[in-house]
Amino acid sequence: MIHNIITSIAGRVNQYIKNKLSIDEDIIIVRSLVDAKGNISQGIENKIVVFLLSFEEEKLAKNLTAAKSMSNHSVNININIMFAAYFSDVNYVESLRHVSLVIDFFQRNPIFRSSDTTGLPQSVPKLHVELYNLNMPDTMRLWGAIGTKYIPSCAYRIKQVVFDSDTVIEDTPPVLGS
């Protein structure tokens, strides 16, 4: 389900940027920024790479569910994702422009429903996306762990994705990137 959520939201951001810039080429790619050996992924220059930062259990929702019922069949998680603009040094200003477009998109579209977001699982009635703030030391540790120098980027939290063991999910995500 995580793959469908990330690719579906990335697809909406991609379409927004393509419309804003009046271009046909995809700008958003769902892919790891670096491979397992620490090399920059192929085909990401002049693109915005979207990748999973982390996910965490939503404790407040867990406490509310536990208070209502002794049997807890579902878990609520928050998914943290990064949009990193990988542009060459001569295109640095373009990377800032593209990150600004991502921020503009989410400011205008903080809520996602399966009715307005192609590929979003039908079992997900609504998702709320908000800016995920990282302080400077955490940002530097993160980029060190990724294995590359900092590039213009922004992170978002997709809130309260429900995993329910009673629901069988069979889905086919849209494909972004190659």
Could you tell me the pTM of the whole model? Answer: 0.84
Residue 139: what pLDDT?
A: 92
pLDDT in tens, 116-161: 888 888 777 889 999 999 999 999 999 999 988 899 999 999 997 8
Q: Among 33, 70, 39, which Cα is nearest to 52's? A: 33
d(CA 17, CA 101): 7
Q: Which CATH class is domain 2-164?
A: alpha beta
Percent of the chain with pLDDT over 90: 61
d(CA 94, CA 167): 43
SS3 63: helix
Which string of DSSP letters, residue by residue, matches 103-159? Answer: HHHHHH--EE-TTTSTT--TT---EEEEE----HHHHHHHHHHHTS---SEEEEEEE
Question: Stretch 49-64: mean pLDDT, rounded?
Answer: 80
